[in-house]
Amino acid sequence: MRDLPIATPGPTRTHRWGFLLAKILLSVTVILWFAADVDMQRMGQVLRRVSPGWLVLAFLLKAVSLWLHEARIWMALPVPRPRLGELVRMCLGIGLLNLVLPARGGDVAIIAGLNRRWQIPVGTATAVIGVTSFLEAAAFGLILLAVLGESSGLASPTAGASDLDQIFLMVALTAAIACAAIATIMVIGRVRAGRAAPAGLLGIAHRIAVDTAALLTDPRVLATNTIAAVVQVGFMVAAFAVGLPAAGLADAAPLAAAGQILALSSLASVILPPAWGVGPAAASKLVLGASGLGTEEALLYAAVYWIIAHLPFMLMGLPSLWSLRDRPSGPQ
């Protein structure tokens, strides 16, 4: 049975404008924080270090990670699945909203697209997106802990011991909360499995819980998606790590620095749209500054980070969105 869309009250206009104003003020504060320390003459010298070859390699790595992300959604869908190429194009096209909306708001549009284009129930689509995102976050957390643990033993670590301890604690706390939430949903799903779904919003919640439990207890889905998530995240972290030599920053430990900046930028994206670039800019200054690099180097890497995060997505997403016009779709 297809889930019906449920209208829910949104925030008032005053709240929306107040939230937007708070985000703008936060962004301006970060910009002023940078502007106070930037030496424009030295900035010109730093810009000449950019390496186009490394930048192209970063683009290719990021493009592979994007394709794998969308393919993992296809892998988690129940059979009969949509055509792989069609689904990847839809997710890349609609997923462009993630560049301008905070907290991965574009995923909501992808759920709506799965429901409208292939009649996949909203609850099932939400469970698929939720499980693939959870496995991606888990893979990123493990890789981040691994590279930070390795960097902590280096002679010139990216951050001090106290900074690493704080990052370890942040990752562990986030993982614990996520695991507790997923475990709760799984228990509810196992209890509700086989029972008739109620109507309306409770019916969608019922299907989310049941399908989430089914996905996470299916050995094939769990194994293939977890392996694909590790590979996908590996390509993503490698892309941003390559961004450091692309910016001419050979002195920084690339994997550790890129992992920390990615983690902090992800937290900032919960509030600030990624397209603004404010979160990565602040994260770059904090992380690279701790390794002894100046504000100019941090600003250059923030610009390179923004290009790697957005340009491959736009180059793949815009043609994908265009190709979806009036294209017939159906199961594979």
Strand, helix or coil at 82? Answer: strand
Ramachandran quadrant class, 274 (left: phi over 0; alpha: psi -120 to 50; beta: rest): alpha
pLDDT for 42-95, tens place per residue? 777 778 888 999 999 999 999 999 999 999 999 999 989 999 999 999 999 998
Tell me which H or E stretch contains 167. Answer: helix 161-192
The pLDDT assigned to 294 comes to 84
The pLDDT assigned to 331 comes to 52
The pLDDT assigned to 22 comes to 66
Residue type, 46: V
Strand, helix or coil at 199? Answer: coil
The pLDDT assigned to 13 comes to 60
User: How confident is the prediction along the chain (332 residues), in pLDDT tens digits per residue?
Assistant: 445 444 444 555 666 566 556 666 766 676 666 666 766 777 777 788 889 999 999 999 999 999 999 999 999 999 899 999 999 999 999 988 888 887 788 899 999 999 999 999 999 999 999 999 999 988 998 888 777 766 655 444 444 556 666 766 777 787 788 888 888 888 888 888 878 878 788 889 989 999 999 999 899 999 999 999 999 999 999 999 999 999 988 777 788 889 889 888 887 777 777 777 788 888 888 888 888 888 888 889 998 999 999 999 999 999 998 887 755 555 55
Cβ-contact 136, 128 below 8 angstroms: no
The pLDDT assigned to 154 comes to 45
Ramachandran quadrant class, 257 (left: phi over 0; alpha: psi -120 to 50; beta: rest): alpha
The pLDDT assigned to 45 comes to 78
The pLDDT assigned to 49 comes to 86
Checking 310-313 for CB contacts under 8 A at 24+ apart, the result is 310/99, 310/274, 310/275, 311/59, 312/59, 312/62, 312/63, 312/66, 313/62, 313/66, 313/92, 313/95, 313/96, 313/99
pLDDT for 229-269, tens place per residue? 999 999 999 999 999 999 988 777 788 889 889 888 887 77
331 DSSP β-pair partners: 82
The pLDDT assigned to 4 comes to 46
The pLDDT assigned to 1 comes to 44
The pLDDT assigned to 6 comes to 44
Compute the distance between CA of residue 23 and CA of residue 17 in angstroms, rounded to an integer: 10
